[in-house]
Structure 1
Amino acid sequence: MTISLRPHHLLCMLTYIGRGYSPAFVASYDSVIARLSAGEAVLIVDGPDAICAPLLENGEPHCFRQSVIDRDRRAAKDLSPLLGVEITAGTTIALDHQTLGEMRAAFAAGTIRSACAGCQWADLCDAVSGNGFTGSGLLHLK
């Protein structure tokens, strides 16, 4: 099985510590993190994904805004060379311990964070990465 993720959520998952927009959002995100930790692969999608799902029932979720689409574009551009594969809809990525470590190192160094510009969660992500990703839900990949 695979988990659908939009490109910028490949960054968000690195610093997820159980905070979010609502209790339903956090519960759903916890489930995604558990599935990733269990070894499920990621299927890159355009637009809303497994993380966005709880927000889609709201009147006008931000998931469809141009700013979020631009964030996905920047994340895909930053991550493609790091992961050695073009990050585009339909790409499948198997996350393992080594890949996660490389992504975390690049995130902490700021080399894959152009998508984070203007994000309301950026300060939290700075703190999590600055603390060695302590408390991040995605710690142990098989």
Structure 2
Amino acid sequence: MYTLRGHHLFCLLGYRGMGYSKEYVENMTALHETLRDNPKTMINIVNGPDYLCEKYPKSAEYHCQNDDIYKRDTAILEKIGLTTGQVLRWEDIESHIRNYIVPADIQIVCETCSWRSYGVCEEGIKAIKEGKGLRKIN
């Protein structure tokens, strides 16, 4: 079972192998591949730092506990109808995304995200809505 916070549910949709450091990328790639290959993997939705935050580089400004990040977590969970403390399969999270999100929602709930300008999250949501699941990382 993995712990994930609200906004990382969306980050995984758009993930394309970019990240804050080599260690962070390796960790996120491994999780992304696990969820893609095993959508029944259990996820515990947490409020605050999660499995991915564990590998955030110590040399960078740690933003995992910034108020803005908590607000983004809350907005995303509210939008997809989930709450902290829930434990569910990744495929169930994808189902919530499919039912409650459209690609344009990224522009609103992820307004302050530095990765938003790449447009990959919208592509990830589109793939989920089409029933394709997480895309392979090139």
Decide: shared fold, TM above 0.5. Answer: yes
Question: Residues 68 and 40 from structure 1, CA distance in 2 versus in 1: closer, same or farther, beyond 3 angstroms?
Answer: same
**Matches of 2:88 and 2:9, distance apart in 1:** 10
Per-residue CA distance 1:59-111 (angstroms, 9 max, x = gap):
6410011111111111111111xxxxx422x2012122x85366258242x24
Identify unmatched segments of 5+ residues in structure 2: 128-132
Shift of 1:128: 5.3
Does the 8 Å CA contact 2:7/2:73 hold for their aligned counterparts? yes
Identical-pair percentage:
27
Q: Structure 1 residues 104, 113: closer, same or farther in 2, change over 3 A?
A: farther
Aligned partners of 1:34 and 1:127: how far apart in 2?
Answer: 17
Change (3 A) 1:35 1:74: same
Q: Does 1:92 align with 2:87?
A: yes
- 1:9-65: CA deviation from partner (whole Å, max 9, x where unpaired): 111111111111111110010111122122312110111111111116346410011
Mapping of 1:1-142 within 5 angstroms? 2-37=1-36, 38=38, 39-55=40-56, 57-58=58-59, 60-80=61-81, 86-88=82-84, 90-96=85-91, 100=94, 103=97, 106-108=101-103, 110-111=104-105, 114-124=108-118, 126-127=119-120, 129-130=122-123, 133=127, 138-139=134-135
Partner Cα distance (1:111, 1:104) in 2? 12
Compute the displacement of 1:113 (Å). Answer: 5.6
Matches of 1:104 and 1:53 in 2, distance apart?
28
Match of 2:130 in 1: none
**Count of aligned pairs between the two proteins:** 128
Runs of at least 5 residues in structure 1 that lack an aligned partner in the other structure? 81-85
Displacement of 1:123 in angstroms is 1.4
Give the deviation of 1:8 after TM superposition. 1.0
TM-score with structure 1 setting the length:
0.74
Structure 1 residue ranges (4+ consecutive) displaced by more than 6 angstroms after TM superposition:
none
In the superposition, the TM-score normalised over structure 2's length comes to 0.76
Taking structure 1 as reference, are residues 113 and 40 closer, same or farther at Cα in structure 2, changes over 3 Å only?
Answer: farther
